[in-house]
Amino acid sequence: MLKFLIFIAAAFILYKLLTGDFKKKKDVQTKEKENLAATGVMTKDPVCGTYVPVDGDIRVKQGDKVHHFCSYECRDKFLKQIADK
């Protein structure tokens, strides 16, 4: 019976730890999203002229400038342009 109680307690603590961590992570992600939505920072895709959010994954660092692209196609075009110069 005692073993059973210990098992329940351990499971409960583990459950609390896991759910607590997940909740924290979710809160941070939500906050980050809210911040981005609030600032709404957009930048221009230098290839096609589309406005893309600066937090986008498709980016190229050139010197101290970071260019953002709407698609990998645009990014590749841009990289080719740099290479041709």
Q: Which residues bind Zn ion (CB under 5 A)?
A: 45, 47-48, 50, 70, 74
CB of 14 to Zn ion, least distance (A): 47
CB of 57 to Zn ion, least distance (A): 14
Give the contacts of 80 (CB within 8 A, at least 6 positions apart).
none
DSSP letter assigned to residue 61 = E
Residues linked to residue 60 through DSSP beta bridges, in sequence order: 67
Q: Which two tokens stand for residue 54?
A: 């600066």
| Nearer to Zn ion among residue 48 and residue 60 (C-beta) | 48
| Nearer to Zn ion among residue 4 and residue 49 (C-beta) | 49
